[in-house]
Amino acid sequence: MSQPAPDKQRNARRQAWLKEAARAGGRWNGLATGLLLLDGVAAIGFAGALAGGLGALEGGMAAAWPWLALGVVSAAGRGACATLSARAGAEAARRVKTALRRRITVASLAIPAGERPPVGSLMASAVDEVEALDGYVARFLPARRAAGLVPFLVLGATAVASPLSAGILAATLVPFILAMALAGGAAADQARRQFEALSRLSALFADRVRSLPAVLAFQAEAAETRRLSGAAEELRGRTMGVLRLAFLSSGALEFFAALSVALVAVYAGFNLLGLLPFPVPESLTLGPAFFVLALAPEFYAPMRRLAAAYHDKQAAETAADRLEALEALARSPAALARPIPRAPAIRFRGVTIRYPGEDRAAVDNFGLEIGPGEVVALLGPSGSGKTTLLNLLLGLAPLTGGEVLVDGLLLSEAGSFAPSIAWMGQAPLIVPGSIAANVALSRQDAPAHEIAEAAERAGLGRMLRERPEGLDSVLDERGGGLSGGERRRIALARALLKDAPILLLDEPTAHLDAEAEAAMIPVILDGARGRTTLIATHSPRLAARADRIVRLA
Amino acid sequence: MSNPGRLKDLVAAERARQRGRLLIAGIAAAVVTAASVALLGLSGWFITGAALAGAAGAASAQGFNYMLPSAGIRLLTILRTGSRYAERLAGHDAALRALARIRPALFAGLAAAPPATAMALSTGEASARLVQDVNAVEARFVRLSGAWGMMASIATGTALLLLAGPMPALAALAVTGTYLLVADRLATLLQAPGREAQRAAGRLKEDFATLAGAASELRAYGLEGWAAERIGARSAELAEAQRRVTGGAGWFELAQGVATGLAAMGAMALSAEQSLPIAAMAALGAAMMVDGVAGFARGLERRGTLREAEARLDAILGMAEPPRPARPALADAPVIRLAEPDALLRPGMVAAITGPSGCGKTTLLETLLALRPVEPGRISLGGADIAALPPEAARRCFAHAAQDAALLAGTVRENLLLASPDATEAELWDALRDAALDARVLALPGGLDAWLGENGARLSGGERRRLVLARALLRPAPWLLLDEPTEGLDAATEIRVLERLRARLAATGQGALIVTHRAAPLALCGRVLEMGGERRVAALAA
State which residue of chain B sits closest to A491, comparing Cα positions.
B217
pLDDT tens digit sequence for B316-371: 777 776 666 655 555 578 888 888 788 889 988 999 998 766 677 888 888 898 88
Nearest Cα residue to B150 out of B37, B229, B261, B44: B37
Segment among B392-401, B402-411, B508-517, B522-531 with least mean pLDDT: B402-411
Q: What is the pLDDT of residue B1?
A: 37
Q: Tell me the shortest Cα–Cα distance from A340 to chain B, in angstroms.
A: 14
Q: Tell me the shortest Cα–Cα distance from B494 to chain A, in angstroms.
A: 9
- Where helices occur in B64-165 by DSSP H, the ranges are 67-112, 115-121, 124-143, 145-162
Residues A31 and A138 in one domain: yes
Q: What is the pLDDT of residue B314?
A: 83
- Strands (DSSP E) along A59-189, which ranges? none
Is residue A86 within 8 Å of B247, Cβ to Cβ? yes
Residues A301 and A366 in one domain: no
| Cβ <8 Å between A251 and B80 | no
pLDDT of B537 above 80: no
Q: Look at residues A271, A304, A329 and tell me which one is the last residue of a structural domain.
A: A329
Residues A532 and A394 in one domain: yes
Residues A264 and A127 in one domain: yes
In a domain, A337, yes or no: no
pLDDT tens digit sequence for B7-31: 888 888 989 999 999 999 999 999 9
With beta carbons under 8 A apart, name residues in chain A contacting B283.
Answer: 50, 53-54
| Cβ <8 Å between B261 and A240 | no
First-to-final CA distance of chain B: 41
Distance from C-alpha of B383 to C-alpha of B302, rounded to nearest angstrom: 54
Q: Tell me the shortest Cα–Cα distance from A127 to chain B, in angstroms.
A: 7
Is residue A431 within 8 Å of A512, Cβ to Cβ? no
Q: Which residues contact B246 (CB under 8 A, 6 or more apart)?
A: A86, A89, A90, A93, A134, A138
State which residue of chain A sits closest to B123, comparing Cα positions.
A210
Distance from C-alpha of B435 to C-alpha of B501, rounded to nearest angstrom: 8
State which residue of chain A sits closest to B202, comparing Cα positions.
A127
Q: What is the pLDDT of residue B405?
A: 66
Distance from C-alpha of A243 to C-alpha of B336, rounded to nearest angstrom: 56
Q: Tell me the shortest Cα–Cα distance from A339 to chain B, in angstroms.
A: 12
Is residue B164 within 8 Å of B271, Cβ to Cβ? yes
Interface test with A, best of B127, B291, B368 (most A CBs within 10 A): B127
Query: pLDDT confidence of B125, banded at 50, 70, 90?
Result: low
Q: A–B: how many Cβ contacts below 8 A? A: 504
Q: Tell me the shortest Cα–Cα distance from B424 to chain A, in angstroms.
A: 17
3-class DSSP assignment, residue A219: coil
Q: What is the DSSP letter of A137?
A: I
State which residue of chain B sits closest to A46, comparing Cα positions.
B261
Interface test with B, best of A72, A115, A208, A209 (most B CBs within 10 A): A209
Distance from C-alpha of B416 to C-alpha of B484, rounded to nearest angstrom: 19
| Cβ <8 Å between A123 and B208 | yes
pLDDT of B225 above 70: yes
Q: What is the pLDDT of residue B542?
A: 31
DSSP track, B159-188: HHHHTT-HHHHHHHHHHHHHHHHHHHHHHH
% of chain A residues with pLDDT over 90: 42
Distance from C-alpha of B9 to C-alpha of B26, rounded to nearest angstrom: 21
Query: pLDDT confidence of B281, banded at 50, 70, 90?
Result: very high
- Structural domain boundaries in chain B: 6-318, 336-541
pLDDT of A359 above 80: no
pLDDT tens digit sequence for B479-507: 999 998 887 777 888 899 999 999 999 99
Q: Look at residues A304, A329, A354 and tell me which one is the last residue of a structural domain.
A: A329
The closest CB to that of A68, out of B210, B249, B269, belongs to: B269
Name the amino acid, one letter, at B371: L
Q: What is the pLDDT of residue A361?
A: 82
Q: Tell me the shortest Cα–Cα distance from A4 to chain B, in angstroms.
A: 27
Helices B276-300, B251-270: axis angle to 10 degrees equals 160
In a domain, A414, yes or no: yes
Interface test with A, best of B36, B102, B490, B535 (most A CBs within 10 A): B490
* Residue B151 φ/ψ, nearest 5 degrees: -65, -40
Higher-pLDDT residue of A202 and B211 is B211
CATH number for the domain that contains residue A128: 1.20.1560.10
CATH architecture of B6-318: Up-down Bundle (1.20)
Residues A319 and A453 in one domain: no
In a domain, A334, yes or no: no
Distance from C-alpha of A178 to C-alpha of A173, rounded to nearest angstrom: 9
Q: What is the pLDDT of residue A232?
A: 80
Residue A220 is part of which domain span?
A: 13-329
Q: What is the pLDDT of residue A45?
A: 95
For residue A472, give Cα distances in angstroms to A438, A452, A475, A498, B114: 10, 11, 9, 20, 41
Cα maximum dimension of chain B: 114
In a domain, A8, yes or no: no
Is residue B436 within 8 Å of A236, Cβ to Cβ? no
| Cβ <8 Å between B73 and A265 | yes
Distance from C-alpha of A175 to C-alpha of A179, rounded to nearest angstrom: 6
With beta carbons under 8 A apart, name residues in chain A contacting B238.
Answer: 127, 131
CB atoms within 10 A of CB B56: 12
| Cβ <8 Å between B47 and A211 | no
**Can you count the helices (H) and strands (E) in chain B?**
22, 9
3-class DSSP assignment, residue A373: coil
Q: What angle do CA B41, B45, B51 make, to 5 degrees?
A: 145
Q: What is the pLDDT of residue A3?
A: 42
Q: Tell me the shortest Cα–Cα distance from B27 to chain A, in angstroms.
A: 17
Is residue B83 within 8 Å of B35, Cβ to Cβ? yes
Distance from C-alpha of A292 to C-alpha of A165, rounded to nearest angstrom: 7
| Cβ <8 Å between A228 and B103 | yes
The closest CB to that of B239, out of A98, A297, A418, belongs to: A98
Distance from C-alpha of B135 to C-alpha of B92, rounded to nearest angstrom: 13
ipTM score of the complex? 0.83
Report the CATH superfamily, name and number, of domain B336-541.
P-loop containing nucleotide triphosphate hydrolases (3.40.50.300)
Residues A55 and A89 in one domain: yes
| Cβ <8 Å between B216 and A217 | no
pLDDT of B536 above 60: no
Residues A496 and A543 in one domain: yes
Q: Tell me the shortest Cα–Cα distance from B506 to chain A, in angstroms.
A: 23
Residues A361 and A287 in one domain: no
Radius of gyration of chain A from its Cα atoms, rounded to whole angstroms: 34
State which residue of chain A sits closest to B97, comparing Cα positions.
A236
| Cβ <8 Å between A105 and B475 | no
Segment among A236-240, A331-335, B372-376, B379-383 with least mean pLDDT: A331-335
* Residue A367 φ/ψ, nearest 5 degrees: -130, 140
Distance from C-alpha of B54 to C-alpha of A450, rounded to nearest angstrom: 98
Q: What is the pLDDT of residue A344?
A: 93
CB atoms within 10 A of CB A11: 14
Segment among A328-332, A373-377, B78-82, B492-496 with least mean pLDDT: A328-332
With beta carbons under 8 A apart, name residues in chain B contacting A269.
Answer: 46-47, 50, 66, 69-70
State which residue of chain B sits closest to A215, comparing Cα positions.
B418
Distance from C-alpha of A173 to C-alpha of A179, rounded to nearest angstrom: 10
Is residue B42 within 8 Å of B69, Cβ to Cβ? yes
Nearest Cα residue to A135 out of B529, B245, B278: B245
Q: Give the pTM.
A: 0.80
pLDDT of A84 above 70: yes
CATH number for the domain that contains residue A430: 3.40.50.300
Query: pLDDT confidence of B102, banded at 50, 70, 90?
Result: confident
pLDDT tens digit sequence for B448-478: 998 887 666 677 777 888 999 999 999 989 9
First-to-final CA distance of chain A: 49
Is residue A496 within 8 Å of A454, Cβ to Cβ? yes
Residues paired with A533 in a beta bridge: A375, A503
State which residue of chain B sits closest to A296, comparing Cα positions.
B40
Distance of CA A208 to the CA centre of its chain: 24
Give the pairing of strands B398-401 and B479-483: parallel
Distance from C-alpha of A445 to C-alpha of B325, rounded to nearest angstrom: 66
Residues A157 and A193 in one domain: yes
Strand order, beta sheet including A409-410: A363-370, A346-353, A401-406, A409-410
Q: Give burial (CB, 10 Å; 0-12/13-18/19+) of B542.
A: exposed
Name the amino acid, one letter, at A391: N
Q: Look at residues A266, A298, A329 and tell me which one is the last residue of a structural domain.
A: A329
- The whole-chain average pLDDT of chain B stands at 86
Count of domains forming chain A: 2
| Cβ <8 Å between B253 and A116 | no
With beta carbons under 8 A apart, name residues in chain A contacting B279.
Answer: 54, 57
| Cβ <8 Å between B50 and A273 | yes
Interface test with B, best of A227, A286, A299, A498 (most B CBs within 10 A): A286
State which residue of chain A sits closest to B271, comparing Cα positions.
A57
3-class DSSP assignment, residue A306: helix
Query: pLDDT confidence of A190, banded at 50, 70, 90?
Result: low
State which residue of chain A sits closest to B225, comparing Cα positions.
A106
Nearest Cα residue to B452 out of A537, A315, A211: A211
DSSP track, B303-371: HHHHHHHHHHHHHHHHTPPPPPPP-SPPPSS--EEETTTTEEE-TT-EEEEE-STTSSHHHHHHHHTTS
| Cβ <8 Å between A206 and B251 | no
With beta carbons under 8 A apart, name residues in chain B contacting A84.
Answer: 250
Handedness of CA A234, A240, A243, A244 (dihedral sign): negative
With beta carbons under 8 A apart, name residues in chain A contacting B444.
Answer: 359
Residues A268 and A378 in one domain: no
CB atoms within 10 A of CB A122: 23
| Cβ <8 Å between A82 and B255 | no
Q: What is the DSSP letter of A341?
A: S
Radius of gyration of chain B from its Cα atoms, rounded to whole angstroms: 34
Distance from C-alpha of B466 to C-alpha of B498, rounded to nearest angstrom: 12
| Cβ <8 Å between A123 and B124 | yes
Query: pLDDT confidence of A154, banded at 50, 70, 90?
Result: very high
Q: What is the pLDDT of residue A331?
A: 78
Residues A17 and A142 in one domain: yes
Distance from C-alpha of B69 to C-alpha of B46, rounded to nearest angstrom: 7
Distance from C-alpha of B31 to C-alpha of B42, rounded to nearest angstrom: 15
Q: Tell me the shortest Cα–Cα distance from B344 to chain A, in angstroms.
A: 23
With beta carbons under 8 A apart, name residues in chain B contacting A202.
Answer: 131, 134-135
| Cβ <8 Å between A120 and B122 | no
For residue B536, give Cα distances in angstroms to A2, A518, B518, B539: 68, 16, 19, 5
Is residue B465 within 8 Å of B472, Cβ to Cβ? no
| Cβ <8 Å between B409 and A204 | yes
The closest CB to that of A127, out of B201, B215, B245, belongs to: B201
Segment among A255-264, A434-443, B226-235, B288-297 with least mean pLDDT: A255-264
The closest CB to that of A216, out of B118, B251, B475, belongs to: B118
| Cβ <8 Å between A53 and B463 | no
Residues A32 and A178 in one domain: yes
